[in-house]
Homo-oligomer: A and B are copies of this chain.
């Protein structure tokens, strides 16, 4: 992973400038200005079996200015690149929504405002630029939605407002440190002294473990993505794995929980274009599992009926090539399909509130996790 996820050291503004220079050169030479990117079509999204994540294949796409079908998109792409160039030069961040409004604002009264009538139009073009220039949105100063908190023995050096702000993640009390959108630029993770990372699907369970000082007693880093992991959270988990820490994922045993796990582990279709940077194939699934029902008798009283979505999803997952590689997962899914029941991580609070931590401890100690 480390090779692929290594930071690219050419400055983003220089890459955008190079794109612009090439287009100017094409125009001066009397040739049709063009722009090449890797195709992000479904057919070019592949599961990289060797490395264990979803990424783009090698199919390329070319956009030409002098082409009736492409010239509008070409112009839009360049407008976006110009905006991002300015954001980077100014050192200011916005979102893809903010970018959309800037584009609508600045094309002027002489240009049909419908050049960007919907944000759905500008979003894929941003990805085009990311892929073509081997940059991440974060390098273009475009923030994504953020979600998730962290507690544990590590410190953060956040260069913010011309100050180096130091945040001790073991001193964040009931709140935890809020994981930002961008965990790559002007931010460092130092003194990472923990033994492993535990990622807990639900904030409620994170709070439970945080109150028990689980991360302190276990010397772990305790993260909750608060549901599906946002881009920043996935990137952070990848970075912590790069530091050599084992990553354990702890979710419900249902369709949504599995989805959260597999997205962290193998990446997703939507982010296949930065697969290597956001996937953590080393991640292991700690629970809760169907097989917990054999070990923890009381859980049998606390199961829920699996929904149609759960069952359908389980059936689908049996066909995924990255699941077929894992016999332990096949057994889990088949058991759910047969028994038609599911299990929530919250159920571990049944006997006593502190049981959740004991469960995690025992699972890790006995290496009882799924691949």
A interface, CB within 8 angstroms of B: 87, 90, 92-95, 97-98, 100-102, 104-106, 113, 143, 145-146, 149, 156, 158, 160-161, 165-167, 171-182, 187, 203-204, 207-208, 211-213, 216, 298, 301-302, 344, 346-347, 349-351, 353-354
Contacts and interface: CB of A to CB of B under 8 A. Distances in A.
B207 A93 contact: yes
B216 A161 contact: yes
A105 B351 contact: yes
A204 to B, nearest CB: 4
A204 B98 CA distance: 9
Contact of A301 (B113, B149, B207, B211): B113
A172 B165 CA distance: 7
10 contacts: A93-B211, A94-B353, A97-B346, A98-B204, A98-B208, A98-B349, A102-B350, A104-B302, A143-B204, A175-B177
A212 B162 CA distance: 11
A302 B101 contact: yes
A173 B160 contact: yes
A254 B354 CA distance: 44
A203 B213 CA distance: 29
Contacts of A175: 158, 167, 177-180
Given A173-B156, A175-B177, A349 B101 contact: yes
Nearest to A162: B213
Contacts of A90: 353
A258 to B, nearest CB: 19
A260 to B, nearest CB: 17
Nearest to A159: B173
Nearest to A113: B301
A207 B101 contact: no
Q: Which 8 A-B pairs have the closest CB atoms?
A: A105-B350, A158-B173, A160-B173, A165-B173, A175-B178, A98-B349, A95-B204, A178-B178
A309 to B, nearest CB: 18
A225 to B, nearest CB: 14
Given A181-B207, A204-B143, A98 B353 contact: yes
Nearest to A109: B301
Contact of A211 (B92, B106, B179): B92
Contacts of A98: 204, 208, 346, 349, 353
Contacts of A181: 174, 207
A357 to B, nearest CB: 11
A53 to B, nearest CB: 27
A353 B178 contact: no
Contacts of A203: 145-146
A317 B195 CA distance: 55
Given A105-B301, A174-B181, 10 more contacts: A90-B353, A94-B204, A97-B204, A98-B346, A100-B346, A101-B302, A105-B350, A167-B172, A173-B187, A175-B178
Given A93-B207, A160-B173, A165-B173, A105 B178 contact: no
A209 B303 CA distance: 45
B105 A208 contact: no
Nearest to A226: B147
